[in-house]
């Protein structure tokens, strides 16, 4: 049985700082091993450049998965090579193996259908005739990638319990969300999420923009943003969005700037239109937190993806903590989605039960809310 999981967890060296996605993968794996299946798990970690890179190895994840399952997880040293073949051959009924990071092979994320197809065929051949594919990595179902999409065309493909339950909850936000419907976006995958903003704006009452995303908006308003994250190729599109939907968009009014991307950098709080040359915005400031909290306090529905700042460093965690606390304090139906956003909730010590649902998917949830077909779901034949 081939299982695609999303085990893309935050790491500090080879220490997992939040194992939420590993935990979320357990029920499906345990259901399969309980039924005596030999389970081969595939997953990615980070965005390596299509070749093996020890910084993105899944070895620490295999260790954690084994601890949580209470059973050894054999880990292959490659994705579909000799090591993978021998690890899969060594599996006994009810045991689990994890292949190395699928993104160590450039064909996983190739735009070329034939290349992805060839890689998917190698994955399918590893598990052999008669095996099935269970898609359980909700966080990655928006990616048309070999281990998510193409492999489901070669093996009978089923949605795992995690994918089904995530889709169930998110569906309630697409149908008829209780209003006001407020979406908070942040994080660092700025280029990925611009399209989403455009698609979501007509559906929401307010869109609050923090994190690395904010600086392209501030720049589009004509402000200097120093060395903050900036998506130059989106400036014109962002200007159009501001012109069309300025009434719904809420941007930071102040930011915490730093002279380096480091935990011990020098920091200052400045007005959003006064970021000094050479400094970078790494968090929203206290007045912005208040502004965001005002919108969140009265919301009927909240969806939040992407930390408001670099919360991994305490100096830039206040914005994310403030946004999260405001959501917890509201009476809204609230969903937080994304690897780092969910990790932020836990590592900043917020009560998980203060949110109606913590989703494992960030980009995946956003694309679902946008109303897009998720390739990794659309390609499946049924439920596992």
Ligand X SMILES: Nc1ncnc2c1ncn2[C@@H]1O[C@H](COP(=O)(O)OP(=O)(O)OP(=O)(O)O)[C@@H](O)[C@H]1O
Ligand Y SMILES: O=C(O)[C@H](O)COP(=O)(O)O
Catalytic residue among 116, 189, 206, 321: 189
Catalytic residue among 21, 38, 107, 116: 21
- Please check whether residue 51 is in contact with residue 22, taking contact to mean a CB–CB distance below 8 angstroms: no
Give the separation between CA 236 and CA 114, rounded to whole angstroms.
Answer: 35
4 is catalytic: no
H or E element at residue 352: none
Beta bridge partners of 211: none
- Please check whether residue 288 is in contact with residue 225, taking contact to mean a CB–CB distance below 8 angstroms: no
Q: Is 45 annotated as a binding residue?
A: yes
339 is catalytic: yes
Residue 249, φ and ψ in degrees, nearest 5: -85, 130
The verdict on 252 binding ligand X (CB under 6 A) reads no
Catalytic residue among 160, 319, 363, 376: 363
Of 4, 8, 56, 299, the residue at the interface with ligand Y (CB under 6 A) is 8
H or E element at residue 182: strand 181-185
189 is catalytic: yes
Of 310, 369, 377, 384, the residue at the interface with ligand X (CB under 6 A) is 310
The verdict on 42 binding ligand Y (CB under 6 A) reads no
Give the separation between CA 357 and CA 336, rounded to whole angstroms.
Answer: 7
Among ligand X, ligand Y, none, what binds residue 341 when CB lies within 5 to 8 Å by partner kind? Answer: ligand X
Region near ligand Y per CB under 6 A, out of 57-65, 66-74, 139-147, 152-160: 139-147
H or E element at residue 239: helix 235-245
44-63: contacts with ligand Y (CB under 6 A):
47
Of 1, 2, 4, 6, the residue at the interface with ligand Y (CB under 6 A) is 6
325-354: contacts with ligand X (CB under 6 A):
338-341
Give the separation between CA 336 and CA 359, rounded to whole angstroms.
Answer: 6
**Structure token digits, residue 147:** 């281990």
The verdict on 363 binding ligand X (CB under 6 A) reads yes
> Smaller CB distance to ligand X: residue 301 or 341?
341
Q: Is 32 annotated as a binding residue?
A: no
N-terminal to C-terminal alpha carbon distance within the chain: 11
- Point out the residue whose Cβ comes nearest to ligand Y: 8
Give the separation between CA 103 and CA 289, rounded to whole angstroms.
Answer: 37
- Please check whether residue 2 is in contact with residue 124, taking contact to mean a CB–CB distance below 8 angstroms: yes
Give the separation between CA 63 and CA 86, rounded to whole angstroms.
Answer: 19
189-208: contacts with ligand Y (CB under 6 A):
189
The verdict on 362 binding ligand Y (CB under 6 A) reads yes
> Smaller CB distance to ligand Y: residue 101 or 227?
101
Among ligand X, ligand Y, none, what binds residue 212 when CB lies within 5 to 8 Å by partner kind? Answer: ligand X
Beta-strand relationship, 96-98 and 39-42:
parallel
Quickly tell me which residue has 């809420």 as its tokens.
250
300 is catalytic: no
The Cα-based distances of 364 to 61, 160, 187, 317, 368 in angstroms read 21, 15, 14, 24, 6
The verdict on 48 binding ligand X (CB under 6 A) reads no
The verdict on 317 binding ligand Y (CB under 6 A) reads no
Q: Which residues contact 177 (CB under 8 A, 6 or more apart)?
A: 300, 301, 333
Region near ligand X per CB under 6 A, out of 122-130, 187-195, 245-253, 287-295: 187-195
Give the separation between CA 187 and CA 283, rounded to whole angstroms.
Answer: 10
Beta-strand relationship, 301-305 and 39-42:
unpaired
Annotated binding site for ATP: 193, 281, 312, 338-341
Report the catalytic residues: 21, 189, 339, 363
Binding residues for substrate: 6-8, 21, 44-47, 103, 143
Binding positions for ligand Y, rule: CB under 6 A: 6, 8, 47, 139-140, 143, 189, 339, 362-363
**Binding site listing:** 6-8, 21, 44-47, 103, 143, 193, 281, 312, 338-341
Q: Which stretches of the chain bind ligand X, using CB under 6 A? A: 139, 186-189, 211-212, 229, 281-282, 305-307, 309-310, 312, 338-341, 362-363
């Amino acid at each position: 049985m081939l299982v695609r999981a999303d085990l893309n967890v935050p790491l500090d060296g080879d220490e997992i700082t939040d194992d939420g996605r590993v935990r979320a993968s357990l029920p499906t794996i345990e259901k399969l091993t309980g039924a005596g299946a030999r389970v081969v798990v595939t997953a990615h970690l980070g965005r390596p450049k299509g070749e093996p890179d020890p910084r993105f190895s899944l070895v620490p994840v295999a260790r954690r998965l084994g601890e949580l399952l209470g059973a050894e997880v054999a880990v292959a040293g490659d994705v579909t090579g000799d090591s993978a073949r021998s690890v899969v051959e060594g599996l006994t009924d009810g045991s689990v193996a994890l292949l190395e990071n699928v993104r160590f092979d450039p064909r996983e994320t190739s735009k070329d259908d034939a290349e992805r197809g060839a890689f998917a065929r190698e994955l399918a051949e590893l598990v052999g005739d008669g095996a099935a594919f269970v898609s359980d990595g909700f966080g990655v179902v928006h990616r048309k990638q070999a281990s998510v999409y193409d492999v489901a065309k070669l093996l009978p493909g089923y949605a795992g319990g995690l994918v089904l339950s995530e889709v169930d909850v998110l569906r309630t936000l697409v149908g008829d969300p209780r209003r006001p419907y407020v979406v908070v976006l942040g994080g660092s995958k700025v280029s990925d999420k611009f399209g989403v903003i455009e698609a979501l704006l007509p559906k929401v009452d307010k869109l609050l923009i923090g994190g690395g995303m904010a600086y392209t908006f501030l720049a589009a308003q004509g402000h200097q943003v120093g060395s903050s994250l900036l998506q130059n190729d989106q400036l014109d599109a962002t200007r159009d969005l501001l012109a069309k939907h300025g009434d719904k968009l809420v941007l930071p009014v102040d930011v915490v700037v730093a002279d380096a991307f480091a935990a011990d950098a020098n920091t200052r709080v400045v007005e959003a239109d006064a970021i000094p040359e050479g400094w970078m915005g790494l968090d929203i400031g206290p007045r912005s937190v208040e502004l965001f909290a005002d919108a969140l306090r009265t919301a009927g529905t909240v969806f939040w993806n992407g930390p408001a700042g670099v919360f991994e460093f305490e100096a830039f965690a206040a914005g994310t903590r403030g946004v999260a606390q405001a959501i917890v304090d509201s009476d809204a139906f609230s969903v937080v989605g994304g690897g780092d956003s969910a990790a932020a909730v836990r590592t900043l010590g917020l009560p998980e039960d203060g949110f109606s649902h913590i989703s494992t998917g960030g980009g995946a949830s956003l694309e679902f809310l946008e109303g897009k077909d998720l390739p990794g779901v659309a390609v499946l034949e049924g439920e596992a």
